[in-house]
Amino acid sequence: MKAAVCTGIGRIEIRDVPKPSPKPGEVLVKIRSIGVCGSDVDGYRGQHPMIGFPIILGHECSGIIAEIGERVDPGRIGQAVTVEPFFTCGVCPFCQEGTYNFCADLQIIGHQVAGAFAEYMPIPSKFAHFKPANVDFEEAAILEPCSGALHAVRRCKIQSGDTVVIIGCGTMGSFATQHCRNLGAEVVVIEPIAFKRDAATDLGAAVVIDPTTEDAAAKVKELTDGKMADVVIEAVGEQETLEQTVSLVKNGGTIMLIGWTGNASDPFDLTNTTFKELTVLGTLGFCRDFPISMKLLAAGKIDIKRIITHRFTLDQVQEAIEMLETGADGMWKAVVNID
- E strands, the chain, are 2-8, 11-16, 26-36, 60-68, 80-83, 86-87, 107-108, 120-124, 128-130, 163-167, 186-190, 207-209, 229-234, 249-257, 279-281, 308-312, 333-337
Which residue, 115 or 204, has its beta carbon nearer to Zn ion?
115
**Cβ-contact 60, 145 below 8 angstroms:** yes
Inter-helix orientation angle 137-155/290-298, to 10°: 120
Q: Where are the alpha helices (DSSP H) in 164-264?
A: 171-182, 194-202, 216-223, 239-248
Only one of the segments 24-32, 66-74, 81-89, 266-274 lies at the binding site for Zn ion (rule: CB under 5 A); that segment is 81-89
Q: Which is nearer to Zn ion, 235 or 248 (CB)?
A: 235
Q: How far is the CB of 258 from Zn ion (least distance, A)?
A: 12
**Smallest separation (angstroms) from Zn ion to the CB of 289:** 14
Q: Are 223 and 199 in contact (CB under 8 A)?
A: no
- State which residue, 106 or 229, has the beta carbon closest to Zn ion: 106
Nearer to Zn ion by Cβ, of 92 and 206: the residue is 92
Does 95 bind Zn ion (CB under 5 A)? Our answer is: yes
Q: Which is nearer to Zn ion, 66 or 92 (CB)?
A: 92
Stretch near Zn ion under the rule CB under 5 A, chosen from 6-14, 95-103, 243-251, 305-313: 95-103
Q: What is the rounded end-to-end Cα distance, in angstroms, of the chain?
A: 13
Does the footprint of Zn ion cover residue 208 (CB under 5 A)?
Answer: no
225 in helix, strand or coil? Answer: coil
**Is residue 166 close enough to count as binding Zn ion by CB under 5 A?**
no
Distance between CA atoms of residues 97 and 148, nearest Å:
20
Q: Determine if 143 is a binding residue for Zn ion (CB under 5 A).
A: no
Nearer to Zn ion, 43 or 204 (CB): 43
> Residue 243 or 325: which CB sits closer to Zn ion?
325
Report how far residue 335's alpha carbon sits from residue 320's, in angstroms, rounded to the nearest whole number.
8
Number of residues engaging Zn ion in binding (CB under 5 A): 6
How far apart (Å, rounded) are the C-alpha atoms in residues 126 and 112?
19
| 92 is a contact residue toward Zn ion (CB under 5 A) | yes
Instruction: Give the range of 5-13, 31-39, 78-86, 155-163 binding Zn ion by CB under 5 A.
Output: 31-39
Question: Which position among 103, 121, 153, 236 is part of the footprint of Zn ion (CB under 5 A)?
Answer: 103
Measured CA to CA, the distance from residue 15 to residue 11 in angstroms comes to: 12
Q: Report whether 306 contacts 205 (CB < 8 A).
A: no
Q: Is 89 in the site for Zn ion (CB under 5 A)?
A: yes
Min dist. Cβ of residue 286 to Zn ion (A) = 11
User: In angstroms, what is the minimal distance from the CB of 234 to Zn ion?
Assistant: 17
Please tell me whether residue 37 binds Zn ion under the rule CB under 5 A: yes
Report, in Å, the least distance between residue 338 CB and Zn ion: 18
CB of 299 to Zn ion, least distance (A): 23
Residue 60's DSSP bridge partners are: 35
- Interface residues toward Zn ion, by CB under 5 A: 37, 88-89, 92, 95, 103
